[in-house]
A = this chain, B = another copy of it.
Amino acid sequence: MSNSIEVSGSPGVSRLRISDLTVFIARVFESLGFPVGDADRAAFLMAEADAWGADAHGVFRLPMYVKRVQNGGINPRPKMRIVHEQPATALLDGDNAMGHLCMSRAAEIAIEKARTLGAAWVGVRNSNHAGAGSLYARMPLPHDMIGLYAAVGGANLLPPWGGTEKLLSTNPLAIAVPGSKRPAIVLDMATTNASFGKIKVKAQRGEPMPEGWMIDREGNPLTDPQKALEGFLLPIGGAKGYGLALMIGLLGGILNGATFGKSAIDFSTDHSTITNTGQLLIAVNIAAFADVQEFKAGVDEIWDQMKSSPKLPGVDEVRLPGERSAKIYEDRKRNGLPLSPELRRVLDELADNLQVPRL
């Protein structure tokens, strides 16, 4: 445990420098035959997900990604290419690369186009799971742009509203808007009451799920995360969340020539079949609509309005989307990522198998 410090009060939980985590993940990908640049980029983005507190989307997923690469489910040496292009749009074929690589490339294309056109919409196909959507929605922020991200999930756990056939996934949506003195406001949400990532974390920790996350085939609450594949997720707002998940499937899947519906591949159980994951990224150049500084001051003003709302009885704080993440990010960038002994054991085993230095 040379790269870590014990966390006081949490026996066994140590803190790991984000930069050390990045190096470790990059070595893992290099050992699988990734070009150095791709390994570094994917590693950086996965470690960033951990830094932002998206625990279900960071290094926690590494063993699964490794298994996919080893079984031909992810291409370690992809040649991405733009297959359709118009001035304000592009369709990127990811050649079955890591989703992180596809989506950061898509964000670059969208930002470049939005710079001169005002806005751009980039679709992606033949991609894979890309981790935390907020990572990509945030990419336009330093360019004084707004980012919107949506993805077609792999694991179908959601039936159409009123149905019992699992045809939809949690199809997440992320939107990031920059502030000035306040942090960016960043929404990153599944269209179901719980994401599958959260359910995986519950399963790994041996904790039950709260009621409202899932139901069983008779419509009763399901709280055992080990039985997740036997039940159904519940969409937000009932038919509305179903509708949102469906629309994201059409925009991120069907429009891009990517998978949606019956043909979806659950990459948590199938490690070799190509998923043909579809995602999309929209960049909006603030200067095309407003004075950038005035806009950011307006976003700050909204932040302050929300924060100063009186609270319902029993509520300790009114929060903005992205506020908790921003605090976690500051802490973890400075003090490191808390790593559970269970996850460290899994990663040590992975390192040994790949003959890569342990964390």
Q: Which residues of A contact B (CB under 8 A)?
A: 84-89, 91, 113-114, 116-121, 123, 146, 159-165, 167, 175, 177, 185, 187, 189-190, 193, 218-219, 236-237, 239-241, 243-244, 246-247, 249-251, 254-257, 260-262, 282, 284-286, 288-290, 295, 298-299, 301-302, 305-306, 308-313, 315, 317-321
User: Which one of B295, B306, B311 contacts A246 once the chains associate, using CB atoms below 8 Å?
Assistant: B306
User: Which one of B241, B290, B299 contacts A237 once the chains associate, using CB atoms below 8 Å?
Assistant: B241
User: Which one of B249, B250, B295, B311 contacts A254 once the chains associate, using CB atoms below 8 Å?
Assistant: B295
A177 to B243, CA, bound (A): 12
Q: Are B117 and A288 in contact (CB under 8 A)?
A: no
A3 to B244, CA, bound (A): 40
| Chain B positions within 8 Å of A290 at CB level | 84, 91, 254-257
How far does the Cβ of A237 sit from chain B's closest Cβ, in whole Å?
3
Question: Closest chain B residue to A294 by CB distance?
Answer: B257
How far does the Cβ of A249 sit from chain B's closest Cβ, in whole Å?
7
Question: Closest chain B residue to A86 by CB distance?
Answer: B118
Known: A88-B119, A246-B306. A162 touches B255 (CB 8 A): no
| Chain B positions within 8 Å of A295 at CB level | 254-255
How far does the Cβ of A235 sit from chain B's closest Cβ, in whole Å?
8
| Chain B positions within 8 Å of A319 at CB level | 160-162, 239
User: Which one of B161, B237, B306 contacts A160 once the chains associate, using CB atoms below 8 Å?
Assistant: B306
A238 to B232, CA, bound (A): 19
Known: A120-B88, A302-B249. A162 touches B243 (CB 8 A): no
Question: Closest chain B residue to A235 by CB distance?
Answer: B237
Closest A-B pairs by Cβ, 3 of them? A236-B237, A86-B118, A89-B118
Number of copies of this chain that the complex holds: 2
Q: Are A246 and B119 in contact (CB under 8 A)?
A: no
How far does the Cβ of A192 sit from chain B's closest Cβ, in whole Å?
8
| Chain B positions within 8 Å of A260 at CB level | 302
| Chain B positions within 8 Å of A162 at CB level | 311-312, 315, 317-319
Question: Closest chain B residue to A314 by CB distance?
Answer: B219
Known: A121-B118, A167-B305, A219-B312. A247 touches B185 (CB 8 A): yes
How far does the Cβ of A309 sit from chain B's closest Cβ, in whole Å?
3
Q: Are A255 and B289 in contact (CB under 8 A)?
A: yes
A183 to B273, CA, bound (A): 33
| Chain B positions within 8 Å of A163 at CB level | 306, 309-312, 315, 318
Q: Are A167 and B247 in contact (CB under 8 A)?
A: no
- Most chain B CB inside 10 Å of its own CB: which residue of A164, A247, A249, A319: A247
Q: Are A177 and B89 in contact (CB under 8 A)?
A: no
| Chain B positions within 8 Å of A146 at CB level | 251, 255
A219 to B89, CA, bound (A): 46
Q: Are A120 and B119 in contact (CB under 8 A)?
A: yes
Question: Closest chain B residue to A188 by CB distance?
Answer: B243
Q: Are B87 and A117 in contact (CB under 8 A)?
A: yes
Q: Are A185 and B250 in contact (CB under 8 A)?
A: yes
How far does the Cβ of A343 sit from chain B's closest Cβ, in whole Å?
26
